Every structure is written in structure tokens, then in C-alpha cells.
Amino acid sequence: MTTTKTQERAKQVRGKRGQEGINVRHRLNCTTRSGGSCSCQPAYQAQAWSALEGTQIRKTFASLADAKAWRQNTQVGLRQGTVRAPSPTALNQAASEWLAAARTGVVRNRSGDPYKPSAIRSYQHSLNSHILPRLGSQRLTAISHLMLQDLADQMVTTGASASTIRNAILPLRAIYRRALTRNDVAINPTLKLALPAVRGRRDRIAPPQEATALLQALPPGDRAIWATAMYAGLRLGELQALTWEHVDLAENIIQVERSWDPRTGFIAPKSRSGVRRVPITAVLRQHLLNHRLHQGTGGTGFVFPNTYGKRPFESGRINKRARDAWTTASLAPIGLHECRHSYASFMIAAGVNTKALSTYMGHSSITITLDRYGHLLPGNEHAAAALLNTWLAAQAK
């Protein structure tokens, strides 16, 4: 654009800036500052009024056309609620406030339950390791969907696993959900990100005969822990928190009421459905009776304490002793959580209905049970036909 055209355009904008909401921004060395004609290539500052915040939103462009287009789009966005004035809050500050609120229970998960201490620690680790070093200084409203997609793509190129990338984005999603409810942002940039799929491996399940051999190979003092995981399906934290007052060997019921966090001690179970009654099978009952007799505490305190009896067992030591014993016996090792999966497979094979299994497992919905263990349910064509034939034959009598 020639100097003459620039001057003419600047005069037009100066004459209509109150009406259009666009101001001409001359350079510091422009002669207009001394009363002369424009001698620079001016910039154009567009502004739009945000009634919600009671402030102006401003942005500067190199061309008048871009300034007009931005102002028009911004005004539409303000009316529709998809645009907000820039927030002064940086991601560093928002993350710190979110973590503090989660620790006090003010911020809760999507189920309405407080975040578990381990989940908060995991979120903090992901933020500090992957997100805040790159985006911490950015304002919440300045972080875009493209910026987050670029971050995820960069993590892929550096060899990060799909689960690591997913876990890095999870706390960001929680922060922006809270920011949306507080009207700190107008849009959530974490939505519809293209992330690599997490392909979970199929967990190992021990058949009944192998489960018996695995338990027999263990040191006698450790067998009841693994048997309770194998034949009652308790999670690690639930095993650690279990006390004898919640084990009723007369009624053959385990009452699961709490879990254990290694840093904070007793905590609520994973979800409200985690509070449950789990039946004690005959084989598990015998293991628990032997364990209580061997323990010699009269049935008080932790069912599975550590060496000193004041705290629960340490999972690392239990796992190491088990691996050593199974290696000596030439048996394939299994994890405590895989014992839980084995319990589910036993119950399904025994014909326990899925709703009851969901309750005994402490799942928040039967959908979780079906998604996790549906592949174990009888489902081939011949089995389905045999079941239907049996039912039809019974109805014909």
C-alpha cells in the first residue's frame, strides 16, 4: 500500500473509529505525532465490549480488514457465550488452586466423590512433568485446542506411551471443567483432542487348579492375603485396610468399608459402590481360620499387618516373597490385581449373575463389569443354543 493510500485509510478510520470500534495505532516515529500526515504503516486495534466481565477485549492487526473481521466474530461470540475476556489467571495458578481444592474435597470427580489422595498425587505428577513446564505461564483463556494437540503430538514423537499422554491430559480436563463452571473460560480446549489409543493388555487369569498351586507354593503367613484377593476379589487398598472386626467367619461375610493409602492411612473405598458385603467361600474361610490361628491376636487389629502389627502389609515385600516362591516352584507369577480378575472369572464360570458380581466387585455400575469381563461370559453360538434349548424344553413340560 502506498503512503498516500495509507494516509487516506488512516483518515477514514480516525473518522469512524467510535462507530467501528477500531483505532489506528501509529508507529513511534510517525509524523502524525507532531501534527503531520501519516508516514508509517499503521496497525489497527479492534475492540469489543464484554458485558459479562464489564471490560473491553482488544486485539491489534496489521490490516483494517483483519481488525474488522475479528471484531465482528468476537461480538458474535460474546453474544453466544463462546468468547470471554482474557483471564489474568495463568495455568500455573489455576493448577495450584485446583489441587488445593481437590485435597479439601471442594472439587470432586464426575461421580461426585472426593478425589482419592493417590489420584491427586498422580495428577500433580503429570502436571509437573508434562504440562506446566510447557504451558504453565500461559493464561487459561490463551491456551487453545491447537496448542494442546501440538503438545500431545510432541509427546508421541518423543516416545511417550499412550497411557502417559492420556494421563497428562486428564488433570487439564479437570481444571477446565472447573473453570467452565466458574465462568473463567468460555470453551474447553481439551475436548476432541486426537490422542493415541490406550491398548490395555489382557490381564492374566489363573484357572482354579493353578490358583490352588500358586497358594500352596507361598510362605504360610502370606497365603491368606493372596487367597482373599483370589477368592473375594478385594483390591490392594481394601486388603490393607481390612480389620478382623469386618470379617465375620460365622456368617461368612467380609464387610468392605474402607481402603488404605500409604501416605494418609484409612480412606473411603474407590467409589460409593466400594462399600459392600462379599461372601466368603469355603476355601477362603479355611485360609482365614488358619491365618487367624497363626496370627495369635484373638481376631483383633489388621487382618494382614506388617511385621510390627501397627500398619498393613507392604505390597512390595509381599510381591517379592511371592515371586521368589513361585520362581522356586516353577510357577508363572501373578499380581494381586490379577487375582481379582481371576475371582471374577471364577464367579462367571460358576454362573453368578452379572449384577451380583458387579456388587461383589465393588463396581459403580454393571456396565463396568460387562466391559471388563464380558469376554468371559458364555457367548458362543453352541452354548447359547444349548441354554435356549434347555429353557424351551422346560417350558414345554
Beta bridge partners of 260: 266
Cα(17)–Cα(5) distance, integer angstroms:
18
Q: Looking at residue 17, what is its pLDDT?
A: 43
Angle 228-261-227 from CA coordinates, rounded to 5° = 10
Contact 110, 173 (CB under 8 A): no
Q: Looking at residue 187, what is its pLDDT?
A: 81
Cα(58)–Cα(332) distance, integer angstroms:
65
Q: Set out the domains of the chain in order of their start, with CATH numbers.
A: 3-80 (no CATH), 91-181 (1.10.150), 208-376 (1.10.443.10)
Q: Looking at residue 185, what is its pLDDT?
A: 83
Contact 257, 234 (CB under 8 A): no
Cα(271)–Cα(276) distance, integer angstroms:
11
Q: Looking at residue 85, what is its pLDDT?
A: 64
Q: What is the DSSP letter of 194?
A: -
Cα(133)–Cα(157) distance, integer angstroms:
18
Query: Would strands 55-61 and 247-248 be described as parallel, antiparallel, or unpaired?
Result: unpaired
70 sits in which H/E element: helix 64-80
Comparing CA positions, the residue from 198, 186, 177 lying closest to residue 102 is 177
All three cell numbers of 71, joined, read 471484531
How many residues are given for the chain?
Answer: 397
Full strand arrangement of the beta sheet holding 43-50:
22-25, 43-50, 55-61
Q: What is the DSSP letter of 265?
A: E
Angle 312-313-318 from CA coordinates, rounded to 5° = 165
Contact 223, 281 (CB under 8 A): no
Cα(110)–Cα(229) distance, integer angstroms:
28
Comparing CA positions, the residue from 202, 200, 206, 219 lying closest to residue 319 is 219
Contact 279, 356 (CB under 8 A): no
Q: Looking at residue 382, what is its pLDDT?
A: 64
Cα(9)–Cα(64) distance, integer angstroms:
9
Name every residue whose Cβ is closer than 8 Å to that of residue 373 and which is 6 or more positions away in sequence: 341, 344, 345, 348, 357
Give me the average pLDDT of each 10-residue run along the chain (397 residues): 49 45 86 83 83 74 85 78 73 95 92 90 96 94 93 94 94 93 84 87 84 96 96 96 96 95 90 91 95 84 90 95 97 94 89 90 87 71 68 78
Q: Looking at residue 13, what is its pLDDT?
A: 42
Q: Looking at residue 201, what is its pLDDT?
A: 63
Contact 171, 92 (CB under 8 A): no
All three cell numbers of 317, joined, read 515385600
Q: Looking at residue 77, what is its pLDDT?
A: 76
Q: Looking at residue 1, what is its pLDDT?
A: 46
